[in-house]
Amino acid sequence: MKIFIHAKPGSKKELVEKISPNTFTVFVKARPEKGLANEAVIKIVAEYLGVAKSRVRIMAGQTSQKKILEVL
């Protein structure tokens, strides 16, 4: 399953907002340095969907706020 993410790094809280069935806005506290925000996005999305972190990967958008994630 592919999901589309708009990441908001450096937020005061960690939160997932569902925009449509496969589009989400993800707020994470981590700053976009050394991949920390990407790791935080994967962690919070995995928790939200109830799957292991190893089943979520970034397909596109490593350095962008707009990302495409694949959930296995």
| DSSP conformation letters of 12-50 | SS-EEEEEETTEEEEE-SS-SSTTHHHHHHHHHHHHHHT
Domain count, the chain: 1
Check the CA dihedral 8-12-52-21 and report its sign. Answer: negative
The CATH number assigned to the domain holding 14 equals 3.30.1200.10
> Residue 54's domain spans which residues?
2-71
The per-residue pLDDT for range 17-51, each reduced to its tens digit, is 999 999 999 999 999 889 899 999 999 999 999 99
Cβ burial, residue 1 (10 Å; 0-12/13-18/19+): exposed
Q: How many other C-beta atoms are found inside a 10 Å radius of the C-beta of residue 5?
A: 23
Q: Categorize the per-residue pLDDT at 15 as very low, low, confident or very high, splitting at 50, 70 and 90.
A: very high
Predicted pLDDT of residue 29: 94
